[in-house]
A and B are shown apart, each in its own frame.
Chain A
Amino acid sequence: MGLDYLLHFNAVKSGKKMFPRTPREMGRPFVATMRETEVVDLFVENLAMRGTQAVRLLQLQPASFGPWRGFSFDLEFESVGGLPMRGTGTGAIIADELHLLFYAGAREHYFDRHRADVQAILASIAR
């Protein structure tokens, strides 16, 4: 992962890992009965397994994901190499499947550079 990136989790089914190539022994799967707080915990665990350090959840709140009722959250963390990063995610559980967009970038300059683009992508989500 670079200075900024966008992760799209598209229709993760209940019982499946958020990152499909995660080894069988590692990590928990997404479960459709998870609450927003649990989904964010799961996502943070997945980031940590990939070397992300010092993750701090700043915010979690209800938000719309296109026409669906969903949630959004903000994180601060350090990349594998120790670079301070910011991230923001918006998602929803729709028909027992997890949909989530997560955008992250270096705290200096890069996070702000594409934020408007990411918000435009979010605004374009339709049924």
Chain B
Amino acid sequence: MNAVQSPAAAPVSDLVDVTGLDLAHLASADDETLLSAVRGLRAALGPAPVLTEAGTQDPGGVAADLEC
């Protein structure tokens, strides 16, 4: 059973799309939508990279900060 009941066309995400933005604008824009997205991503950036490693022959396992 699916936990999310959504219209088929509804977007899954809310991430602002800046891929077409002129970089000069990206640096100077002060609209709340963009600044909020920057703040959100900055806050979500963890203290260390999230790694996913795969290996079955490492008898000692891998370091605790690894994900998979």
Q: Is chain B a partner of chain A in the same complex?
A: no
**What is A's interface to B at a CB cutoff of 8 Å?**
none
Q: Which residues of B contact A (CB under 8 A)?
A: none
